[in-house]
Structure 1
Amino acid sequence: MNTERLSKILVGPVVSEKSTRAADLNRQYVFKVLRDASKPEVRKAVEKMFDVKVTSVQLLNVKGKVKRFGQTMGRRSDWKKAYITLAEGSDIDFAGAE
């Protein structure tokens, strides 16, 4: 896997009540990833970007919601979510100012 692809795998963190609870209780972090990303790619991308040890990766496809845009019905895009479990002692700090 090339480093250019690994740098594009993680689209961004998912910040919600559920993801915050998972981080506090289970050392799990939630990321939005590319639709065609695989578990080994996500693992290597997180380990490379945040310099942590990943224990497990769980991927799931999120279906886009059907929404109304004015008079017409539309549909939001599908996307993929990754639950990353970190090893004991590892931590990701999103608010780390340098």
Structure 2
Amino acid sequence: MPDEPLVVIAVFRPAEGAREQVLAALERAIPRVHEEAGCNLYAIQEAPGGVIWMVEHWDSAALLDAHGAGEPVADLNAALDGLLVAPVEVIRLTPIPIGDPHKGAVAA
């Protein structure tokens, strides 16, 4: 299978009282990641209970892997040390496009 675009969800669970520090760490990292090759979307959303979801869209798994091994992620991980109740959960998703091609798949 060719290296195709993919969507990733990363879940951040801030420790009690650490939300603002987690957001500050993400605020420093996100602009750097936006400049990385293959990054089409890298955006955070807040879910009930204070869980922060990062929604990502990458041109390929290879470029996502390079992102994961890069300096912005290393710096973010260091900045998040001790601020989360669990390790960041990273979920790679495979599209199942159904219906309208513009509405039936996540793309950026």
TM score, norm. by length of structure 1: 0.37
| Greater per-residue strand proportion | 1
TM score, norm. by length of structure 2: 0.35
| Greater per-residue helix proportion | 2
